[in-house]
């Protein structure tokens, strides 16, 4: 097997990857839009229930409150360790964080795949082939970056929300432990 045949196989396989990458980008775009909707809904719930949440934390009460998933996990699992609570919080953010990081990568992959045929079209003097492949290439990277942008903001805000809930749970645990002594 010569190096030219290996290069040819790699080029053919990379061309075959274009369809799954484009499908993944479309699915991630749907997920990103869905995530924005869920984020807005959770924001509204948190805003609506903020006063009740603060009262519970200040009064050392433990009741389920919509919009506060880490707090609610603690309420239903009061013996959960801090490590368990942190793992639960990370699990809540995991998919969102993965999508934020993977979408630009998929956009880059979908950008690079048509570059080979575009360069070949340029070598052949086929201007239409160049433009068709470059349109696909640039559209893919734009969609990857758009998806990442749509998911980055909710991921960042939710991370802060989780951190604040963990801090409040630590205060509750310290207050309960201090009161028991």
Distance, CA of 161 to CA of 158 (rounded, Å)? 5
What pLDDT score does 67 carry? 94
pLDDT value at residue 180: 52
pTM: 0.84
Ranges of residues in the chain with a pLDDT under 70 are 175-181
What local confidence, expressed as pLDDT, does residue 104 receive? 96
* Three-state secondary structure string covering the chain: CCHHHHHHHHHHHHHHCHHHHHHHHHHHHHHHHHHHHHHHHHHHHHHHHHHHHHHHHHCCCCCCCCCCHHHHHHHHCCCCCHHHHHHHHHHHHHHHHHHHHHHHHHHHHHHHCCHHHHHHHHHHCCHHHHHHHHHHHHHHHHHHHHHHHHHHHHHHHHHHHHHHHHHHHHHHHHHHHHHHC
pLDDT value at residue 181: 46
Check residue 176 and give its pLDDT. Answer: 64
């Amino acid at each position: 097997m010569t190096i030219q045949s290996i290069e040819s196989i790699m080029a053919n396989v990379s061309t075959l990857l274009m369809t799954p990458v484009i499908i993944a980008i479309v699915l991630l775009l749907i997920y990103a839009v869905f995530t924005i909707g869920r984020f807005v809904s959770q924001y509204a719930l948190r805003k609506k229930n903020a006063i009740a949440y603060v009262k519970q934390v200040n009064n050392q009460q433990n009741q389920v409150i919509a919009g506060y998933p880490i707090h609610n996990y603690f309420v239903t699992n009061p013996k959960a360790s801090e490590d368990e609570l942190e793992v639960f919080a990370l699990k809540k953010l995991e998919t969102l964080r993965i999508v934020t990081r993977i979408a630009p990568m998929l956009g880059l992959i979908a950008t690079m795949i048509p570059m080979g045929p575009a360069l070949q079209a340029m070598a052949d003097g086929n201007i239409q082939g160049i433009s068709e492949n470059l349109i696909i290439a640039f559209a893919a990277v734009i969609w990857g970056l758009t998806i990442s942008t749509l998911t980055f903001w909710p991921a960042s805000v939710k991370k802060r929300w989780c951190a604040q809930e963990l801090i409040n749970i630590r205060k509750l645990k310290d207050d309960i432990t201090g009161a028991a002594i």
